[in-house]
Structure 1
Amino acid sequence: MSAVLVAHVPAAAAGRRLDQTLAELFPDYSRARLSGWIRTGRVRVDGGDCSPSQRLHGGERIALEPELEQAVPAAPEAIALELLHVDDDLLVLNKPAGLVVHPGAGVSSGTLQNALLHFDASLGTLPRAGIVHRLDKDTSGLMLVARSLRAHTALTQMIAARAVQRQYLALVRGEVIAGGTVDAPLGRHPVDRLRQAVRDDGRPARTHYRVRERLRGHTLLHCTLESGRTHQIRVHMAHSGHPLIGDPLYGGGLRLPPAATPQLIAALRAFQRQALHAERLAFVHPFSAAALEFSAPLPADFIALLDVLRRESVISRV
């Protein structure tokens, strides 16, 4: 039998549809899948039956029993983990670029989920081995993982309530003048199913960004999220006209600044992933009430690219 996940509807969701709110409370699952589980009785509202279009009042208790048996099976694998914090209820780790978070279509092994099951076999009783939020394969940085069912429930609710602060570093094309906010709903691309796109009928998404460092033809940004949509920073920055360097889906191909040196050309061509790093994670422990904050240094490939850009910036000002 699947683990039952419990959440309480926030007051801000009053008047909204059940399926819409569930997608916020349980971001690991698509709205379509959640609607199906509502119809098959896997979702209960205050202990009773419900429908996807049901309007909420705020404060209701939601119980969800996911069909975990349909997930891609994962076996324990001895994959090294960089753990920054471990206790009985949760852990924080620094994920390297290139590591897939969990098995899926075409990927059955070598993932973070496989590594977590090797680290702690009891994580097999939790949805996706306790993973409560994701990073793309080629995004590096901090992730939060639940180690108990009560922590999985609590952390999922905290993320939905934006009580987990996540800050990213993004290296983008173009010289950004000032910080700002991209407020644009996101949904699956109408043609390319591997991509997301800004859509009027998409799910609300908001990304705040500010300038950390201006470089020749590029800008290093701090990005924070008010939501956690798939590819959110990547899509929003491309939508703003400043796509991430190296992004294979949204970057629009390699573009070089005028009079780029051979060193810069080589560095940009060699960077074959999106330049995105989850740098900071901060939250209050759901049970000890301790204020926790973690940071992860930029990986070597990101630092190497920045070093070249900084040298170029100095040369261009001489």
Structure 2
Amino acid sequence: MSQAQSSNSNFPETDFNLLEDSEDADNHTSDSTATRLSLQFQLDESYLGQRIDQVSALVWTDFSREKLKQWLKEGHLLVNGNTVKPKYKCEGNELLTLEVELEAQTRSLPEDIPLNIVYEDDDIMVINKPVGMVVHPGAGNSSGTLVNAILHHYPKSAELTRAGLVHRIDKDTSGLLVVAKNLESQFSLSKQLAKKSVYRVYDLVVYGNIIAGGTIDEPIKRHPVDRVKMAVLPGGKEAVTHYNVKERFQNFTRIQARLETGRTHQIRVHLMYIGHGLVGDPVYMPRVRMPAGASQLLDDTLRGFKRQALHAVQLGLVHPRTGEDMMFDAPWPEDFNHLVEVLRTENKAY
């Protein structure tokens, strides 16, 4: 199991997050548990003239506007201690108070699936996700997901949106994820992601020789024909990937990547864009590129590596309650380690 390290030093200037997450507002205070929610938020002049239902939806993004309107009408959401109508226009200095009993936010069922928990306390869990596990239930994946496992391990997560998840990684990408265990932590982590102050590092192996590190700043959007793929295309969302070379082989390179933004498949798409697809990537590199004169061991290893060679190796965040800088590391999974070891012996640089 990986060990967590805490430090008072600042993270590198270029912090990044994996996925776009909901915006979160400042000045949240609460003494909430996962069952009963007690939140306050102090408005400022930037909210002047806006409807209270609109403002509350901006402040507490994990709840729908309709749900917040319902709570306004029922007196769970108060303005300066008073009940107001959803069309109330803000003066820009009100104190919002939300006191409510949470209902279940997910219909997924708990399943007794083992979790590799790197760190856990009353507020967060850091999990080293294995290859092959889907993070969130979806079409064709209603069970066996990380959410199902979290619900079994910590049943109160059912009362949180997405069972406390604030980001996710692809099914066949291994590595670190942080999960909130209460709404206050979910707000805090979502805000850190939005502000790019969650530090994540990925190890990956690509085809070809990359001479030096660099930055890829190219927009990404859904492929116009193959809807499974993303692509670098004009009009896409801003996407920035920083990378550096860690180890060179004859026909491959091991690199580390940091994401300034967090678009779907960003690392895979950006590296493919510069001509260095990830080894094993079934979507963007479906055919194995075998080096001339490859040994039988290298041939077997490359053909047997059926997922993108991508691992979320490091995660840094600020603890939602204590404010402590925390850094976590996850060792390479067995298949990734074996791939690198074979490249070191069978494809070593001259």
TM-score, normalised by the number of residues in structure 2? 0.72
Look up the match of 1:26. 22
The structure 1 segments of at least 4 consecutive aligned residues displaced by more than 2 Å after TM superposition are 45-50, 60-69
Task: Output the CA distance in 1 between the equivalents of 2:156 and 2:257.
Answer: 34
Look up the match of 1:225. 259
Question: Is residue 254 of structure 1 aligned with residue 288 of structure 2?
Answer: yes
Question: Is residue 84 of structure 1 aligned with residue 123 of structure 2?
Answer: no
Look up the match of 2:89. none
Task: Output the CA distance in 2 between the equivalents of 1:252 and 1:114.
Answer: 30
Question: Is residue 134 of structure 1 aligned with residue 131 of structure 2?
Answer: no
Task: Output the CA distance in 1 between the equivalents of 2:188 and 2:133.
Answer: 26
Task: Output the CA distance in 1 between the equivalents of 2:286 and 2:215.
Answer: 22
Where in structure 1 are there 5+ consecutive unaligned residues? 1-22, 28-44, 53-59
Which residue type is aligned with residue 26 of structure 1? S
Look up the match of 1:237. 271
- Equivalent residues of 1:73, 1:103 under 8 A apart: no
Look up the match of 1:214. 248
Which residue type is aligned with residue 22 of structure 2? F
Question: Is residue 104 of structure 1 aligned with residue 101 of structure 2?
Answer: no
- Equivalent residues of 1:85, 1:92 under 8 A apart: yes
Task: Output the CA distance in 2 between the equivalents of 1:169 and 1:250.
Answer: 18
How far the C-alpha of 1:63 sits from its partner, in A, is 3.4
How far the C-alpha of 1:73 sits from its partner, in A, is 2.8
- Equivalent residues of 1:171, 1:221 under 8 A apart: yes
**Residues 179-198 of structure 1 aligned to structure 2 (within 5 Å):** 179-198=213-232
How far the C-alpha of 1:61 sits from its partner, in A, is 5.2
Look up the match of 1:169. 203
Larger deviation, residues 304-313 vs 239-248: 304-313
**Residues 137-148 of structure 1 aligned to structure 2 (within 5 Å):** 137-148=171-182
Larger deviation, residues 250-259 vs 293-302: 250-259
Which residue type is aligned with residue 305 of structure 1? L
Task: Output the CA distance in 2 between the equivalents of 1:72 and 1:87.
Answer: 22
Where in structure 2 are there 5+ consecutive unaligned residues? 1-18, 24-45, 68-102
Q: Structure 1, residues 89-124: CA drift from partner, whole Å, max 9, x if none?
A: 111010000000010011100000000000011000
Name the SS of the counterpart of 1:163 in structure 2.
coil
Task: Output the CA distance in 2 between the equivalents of 1:61 and 1:99.
Answer: 33
Name the SS of the counterpart of 2:60 in structure 1.
strand
- Equivalent residues of 1:282, 1:293 under 8 A apart: yes
Question: Is residue 73 of structure 1 aligned with residue 70 of structure 2?
Answer: no
Q: Structure 1, residues 224-254: CA drift from partner, whole Å, max 9, x if none?
A: 0001111110111101100100001111521
Equivalent residue in structure 2 for 1:119, among 143, 150, 153: 153
Equivalent residue in structure 2 for 1:281, among 305, 315, 320: 315
- Equivalent residues of 1:212, 1:221 under 8 A apart: yes
- Equivalent residues of 2:106, 2:162 under 8 A apart: no
How far the C-alpha of 1:49 sits from its partner, in A, is 4.4
Q: What percentage of aligned pairs have identical amino acids?
A: 47
Name the SS of the counterpart of 1:293 in structure 2.
strand
Task: Output the CA distance in 1 between the equivalents of 2:164 and 2:304.
Answer: 34
How far the C-alpha of 1:46 sits from its partner, in A, is 3.6
Look up the match of 1:62. 59
Question: Is residue 153 of structure 1 aligned with residue 150 of structure 2?
Answer: no
Cα pair distance change 1:261/1:229, threshold 3 Å = same
Cα pair distance change 1:215/1:202, threshold 3 Å = same
Q: Structure 1, residues 244-303: CA drift from partner, whole Å, max 9, x if none?
A: 000011115211112111111110000000000000001121220111110000000111
Name the SS of the counterpart of 2:59 in structure 1.
strand
Max Rg structure: 2
Look up the match of 1:263. 297
- How many residue pairs get matched? 271
- Equivalent residues of 1:284, 1:290 under 8 A apart: yes
Task: Output the CA distance in 1 between the equivalents of 2:228 and 2:346.
Answer: 35
Name the SS of the counterpart of 1:241 in structure 2.
coil
TM-score, normalised by the number of residues in structure 1? 0.79
Task: Output the CA distance in 2 between the equivalents of 1:179 and 1:227.
Answer: 18
